[in-house]
């Protein structure tokens, strides 16, 4: 999104962010993302798109303990399937 572009169509916003079209429309409807209309065209301003992306929650890294517990659960499930 560092092209100096001022506004994005829905298709351009999807391509620029990697966020799906359905999610973009849902967030527009919910008021989490702002857009402008010009005739039939929906335009998302670059600064609104950047603010929206910045407002998304940070992904939390899984703790080592949590990963081990998950791995143990998978191992237990495989054991049940093979021994059951």
The pTM of this model reads 0.67
Q: What is the pLDDT of residue 4?
A: 87
Per-residue 3-state assignment (H helix, E strand, C coil) for 30-63: HCCCCCEEECCEEEEEHHHHHHHHHHCCCCCCCC
- For the chain, state the CA radius of gyration: 20
Whether pLDDT at 44 is above 90 = yes
- If pLDDT is split at 50, 70 and 90, which confidence band does 47 have? very high
């Amino acid at each position: 999104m560092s092209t100096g572009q001022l506004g994005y169509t829905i298709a351009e916003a999807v391509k620029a962010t990697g966020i799906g079209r359905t999610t973009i429309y849902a967030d527009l409807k919910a008021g989490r993302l702002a857009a402008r209309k010009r005739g039939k065209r929906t335009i998302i301003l670059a600064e609104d798109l950047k603010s929206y992306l910045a407002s998304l929650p940070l992904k939390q890294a899984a703790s080592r303990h949590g990963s081990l517990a998950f791995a143990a659960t998978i191992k237990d499930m495989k054991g049940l399937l093979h021994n059951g």
